[in-house]
């Protein structure tokens, strides 16, 4: 019994049927068959189906985006003649996949969603989701209909990412009969398991040798653009500088350039916005001298893993400025005025004037009435 429980844990399953799994809506085993993964026949060598994990390389850098592809397929003749739906809810691809690292990969951050917008349905663990059709493939003289699930990640720490062997559960029969109510029905249903190969990814930190002091932490390939508004201003007035970093790579953990020591400017504030493949930093700058005539070219230092891998710099163009001296000292411009002139709206002044006229007329009328 202990050996069976250990096998179930190794396969990523719990010692219960899928019948009580609330997340797997409509996926319930046939009433006569309640099998756990640990009790399924291993049919990997029979060529009925295949499942594999694919990634471009075995070594990546911390923060470098990488893609994991779960690729699987059913042999065409087997699917046509023998495959049956594993659950009461019909699937376009009648298999259940087990690859828990596609949904949660400790030591890495998922970049984007797993499910494509449209495609044939398949079961992944206790979820029903769409997969991508990937044509056909021939293996050892057999033709397979191929499908894929892909997801992008970025490792958050160095070390080894252990990816357990993906599993594919299927159901099949060798004898069928026609049922008046349900149509073609399997007489001798069997449930089988196809195993893929495990894989280990090595995650490395960017090299210490040659690392520039201003390294941002970004890994990939990027550009840097700068824009300022207004470009003509008076000394003491603020301008808004926008730096846009864009390209191929993960920008979720890096920082934009620090401008605290930018000669001739005082940084009064900064706002950072992040999106997929893009980082936008907005700075509130105030020129400190009237002889400042440009925001100089700025740099964003990143590590590019593309051969030959190296630290590189994205450089923006200088932004020309015109800073005029104020008509009075900057201190006077910044200090609030001690006297505040009172200005009445035009309509209010007219009303007051009419009131005075009416009051004068009333006084004149009262005076004459008393005389008479």
Contacts of 251 (CB under 8 A, 6+ apart): 218, 220, 222, 245, 274, 277, 278, 279
- Does a cis peptide bond (omega within 30 degrees of 0) precede residue 308? yes
How high is the pLDDT of residue 19? 36
Contacts of 279 (CB under 8 A, 6+ apart): 244, 245, 246, 251, 254, 256, 272, 273
Calculate the CA dihedral of residues 295, 311, 108, 195 and round it to 10 degrees: 140
Nearest to 230 by CA among 172, 166, 295, 150: 295
How high is the pLDDT of residue 115? 78
Domain 215-329, CATH 2.60.40 — does that match? Answer: yes
How high is the pLDDT of residue 333? 46
- Does a cis peptide bond (omega within 30 degrees of 0) precede residue 230? yes
Give me the residue spans of the domains in the chain. Answer: 9-204, 215-329
Quote the DSSP letter at residue 13. Answer: -
C-beta of residue 254 within 8 angstroms of C-beta of residue 235:
no
How high is the pLDDT of residue 17? 37
How far is residue 153's CA from residue 64's CA, in Å, rounded to a whole number? 8
Question: Tokens for 227?
Answer: 């824009």
C-beta of residue 75 within 8 angstroms of C-beta of residue 93:
no
Element (H, E) at 222: strand 215-229
How far is residue 182's CA from residue 14's CA, in Å, rounded to a whole number? 31
- Give mean pLDDT in consecutive 10-residue pieces for the chain, a chain of 372 residues: 41 36 37 52 94 95 90 96 91 96 92 85 94 95 96 90 96 85 81 95 91 89 96 95 91 87 94 90 95 96 88 96 82 49 57 74 70 62
How high is the pLDDT of residue 30? 38
How high is the pLDDT of residue 359? 79
């Amino acid at each position: 019994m202990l050996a069976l429980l250990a096998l179930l844990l190794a396969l990523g399953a719990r010692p219960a049927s899928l019948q009580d799994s609330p997340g797997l809506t409509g996926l319930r085993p046939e009433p006569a068959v309640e099998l756990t993964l640990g009790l399924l026949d291993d049919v990997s060598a029979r060529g009925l189906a295949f499942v594999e994990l694919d990634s471009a390389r075995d070594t990546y850098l911390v923060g470098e985006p990488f893609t994991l592809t779960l690729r699987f397929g059913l042999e065409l003749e087997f699917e046509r003649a023998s495959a049956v739906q594993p659950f009461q809810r019909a699937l376009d691809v009648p298999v259940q996949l087990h690859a828990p690292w596609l949904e949660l990969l400790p030591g890495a951050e998922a970049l984007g969603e797993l499910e494509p917008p449209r495609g044939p349905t398949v079961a992944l663990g206790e979820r029903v989701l769409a997969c991508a059709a990937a044509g056909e493939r021939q293996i050892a003289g057999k033709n397979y209909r191929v499908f894929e699930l892909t997801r992008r990640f970025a490792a958050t720490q160095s070390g080894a990412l252990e990816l357990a062997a993906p599993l594919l559960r299927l159901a099949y029969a060798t004898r069928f009969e026609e049922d008046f109510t349900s149509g073609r029905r399997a007489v001798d249903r069997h449930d089988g398991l196809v195993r893929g190969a495990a894989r280990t990814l090595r995650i490395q930190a960017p090299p210490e040798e040659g690392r520039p002091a201003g390294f941002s932490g970004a890994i990939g390939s990027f550009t840097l653009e700068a824009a300022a508004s207004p470009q003509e201003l008076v000394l003491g007035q603020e301008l808004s500088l926008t730096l846009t970093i864009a390209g191929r790579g993960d920008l979720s953990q890096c920082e934009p350039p620090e401008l605290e020591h930018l000669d001739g400017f005082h940084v009064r504030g900064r706002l950072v916005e992040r999106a997929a493949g893009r980082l936008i930093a907005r700075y509130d700058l105030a020129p400190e001298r009237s002889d400042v005539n440009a925001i100089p070219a700025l740099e964003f230092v990143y590590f590019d893993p593309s051969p030959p891998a190296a630290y590189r710099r994205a450089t923006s163009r200088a932004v020309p400025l015109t800073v005029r001296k104020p008509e009075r000292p900057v201190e006077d411009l910044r200090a609030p005025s001690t006297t505040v002139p009172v200005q009445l709206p035009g309509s209010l002044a007219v009303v007051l004037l009419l009131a005075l006229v009416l009051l004068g007329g009333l006084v004149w009328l009262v005076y004459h009435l008393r005389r008479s």
